[in-house]
Chains A and B, each alone.
Chain A
Amino acid sequence: MTTGVSARAARRMRFRSRSAAVIVALLAVTLGAVYLGTEAALVLLSQPPLVSAPFGLLDAADADPLVSGGAAAVLALIGVVCLVCAVTPGRFRRRFIADERATIVVDDDVLASSISRSVAIEAKVARSQVRTSLGRRRAEVRVTPTTGFDVSDEPVRQVGEQLLARGGVTPPVKTRAVIERSGVIA
């Protein structure tokens, strides 16, 4: 499909960067460190603390279960969010189009919209009567026929699959056609 620089760039286009999440997490760490540093400096300067001396904070929290429980819950929440962001893939809903010159990445909504167009032409219905949803390996095309005009599911399925195959979309997508029982008056 692609080589070298483009292949690496394509991989990076598939997964969401965690830079923003890292910046937010580090801002939280910075705020905590600034607070602890301030309390520590006040102790060293023999000044009264803002809340408590840094090594007395846990004892101060223990005095009120509501405070310690609330603080623990907030810390746990931040921790879990960071860990989830760290381990989940964060995959964008995009696919590749095979090309020798460039790396081409297409959003799923563009592909779905394009399938709907081709199917509408094949089924001779308005585009608003076709709905396409794309999963990771499957596409489902729902056609609401015009009352009095039958629509077969096999041609619809083939049109969707052929469009993606001719476009060189990877990974390959299997198409399923669903023809609604009730039609509309167009």
Chain B
Amino acid sequence: MTSSNRVMNRMLLALVGLLFAAASVLVAWPLVTGTARPFTLPAADDTAATAVLLGGAVVVVALSVTWIVTRGRGRRSLAIETTGLRLDTTAVESVVRDELQNHPDIVAARVQAYRSRDGRTLLLSVQARTHADLLALTDGVRAAIARADATLGVALPIVVHITTGLRTAMASSRSTH
């Protein structure tokens, strides 16, 4: 749900994979082929080449650490954030939970907000009871969204994820037809 670039993620993984594969070939070359490597590295005491290597290592570490620490920033605590209005996701969650709390097919509901390219997208995660009635469940979710829309006065983009979880495992299965 975050806005991280997934193509870039895969390209980075492929790049790192190729890097490690190439390093493996480099190390295993004499062992596998029985011949010397088809190139020579600088001498162990070559200070100029060692300085270049040190510089390269510093750049790689800096880029990697920058990438790692800038991940996972897509989630937002506010569902609406304009100059005149700041609405926390817990307010939306309260409305949704209030609508769903007595639904026989739903054991838990949670609302989170994520930054998206066009603004803010809400993720409504619903944990279904075992042997839930699919149609009743989706009708309930639609009613909860409609109530949230009516309460907020605005239809925010929303993704609903109907799933299972710990609460599902702990709750009894749906008992009525």
User: Which residue numbers of A lie inside 8 Å of B, CB to CB?
Assistant: 4-6, 8-10, 12-13, 15, 17-19, 21-23, 25-30, 33-34, 36-37, 40-41, 43-44, 52-56, 58-59, 61-62, 65, 68-69, 71-73, 75-76, 78-87, 94, 97, 99, 101-107, 109-111, 113-114, 116-118, 120-121, 127, 163, 166-167
Tell me the complex Cα distance, A53–B26, Å. Answer: 17
Which residues on B sit within 8 Å (CB–CB) of A121?
Answer: 177
Let me know if A30 and B64 touch, CB within 8 A. Answer: yes
Is there a chain A Cβ closer than 8 Å to B154's Cβ? Answer: no
Tell me the complex Cα distance, A79–B159, Å. Answer: 35
Interchain residue pairs with CB less than 8 A apart (12): A12-B6, A17-B4, A26-B68, A27-B68, A58-B27, A79-B20, A82-B16, A83-B18, A86-B11, A101-B155, A110-B164, A114-B133
Given contacts A19-B71, A40-B57, contact A55 B174 (CB under 8 A): no
Which residues on B sit within 8 Å (CB–CB) of A12?
Answer: 1, 6
Tell me the complex Cα distance, A97–B124, Å. Answer: 14
Which residues on A sit within 8 Å (CB–CB) of B41?
Answer: 55, 58
Let me know if B50 and A116 touch, CB within 8 A. Answer: no
Let me know if B30 and A107 touch, CB within 8 A. Answer: no
Which residues on B sit within 8 Å (CB–CB) of A116?
Answer: 131
Tell me the complex Cα distance, A117–B42, Å. Answer: 70
Let me know if B13 and A18 touch, CB within 8 A. Answer: yes
Let me know if A6 and B121 touch, CB within 8 A. Answer: yes
Total count of chain B residues near the partner, CB < 8 A: 83
Which residues on B sit within 8 Å (CB–CB) of A15?
Answer: 6
Tell me the complex Cα distance, A21–B47, Å. Answer: 35
Which residues on A sit within 8 Å (CB–CB) of B13?
Answer: 18, 21-22, 25, 82-83, 85-86
Q: B42: nearest residue on chain A (CB-CB)? A: A55
Interface of A is mostly: helix
Interface centre among B21, B24, B134 (most CB of A within 10 A): B134
Which residues on A sit within 8 Å (CB–CB) of B167?
Answer: none
Tell me the complex Cα distance, A111–B76, Å. Answer: 30
Given contacts A9-B116, A23-B68, contact A44 B51 (CB under 8 A): yes
Let me know if A68 and B159 touch, CB within 8 A. Answer: no
Among B23, B53, B141, the residue within 8 A (CB) of A40 is: B53
Is there a chain A Cβ closer than 8 Å to B152's Cβ? Answer: no
Let me know if B50 and A104 touch, CB within 8 A. Answer: no
Among B46, B51, B157, the residue within 8 A (CB) of A9 is: B157
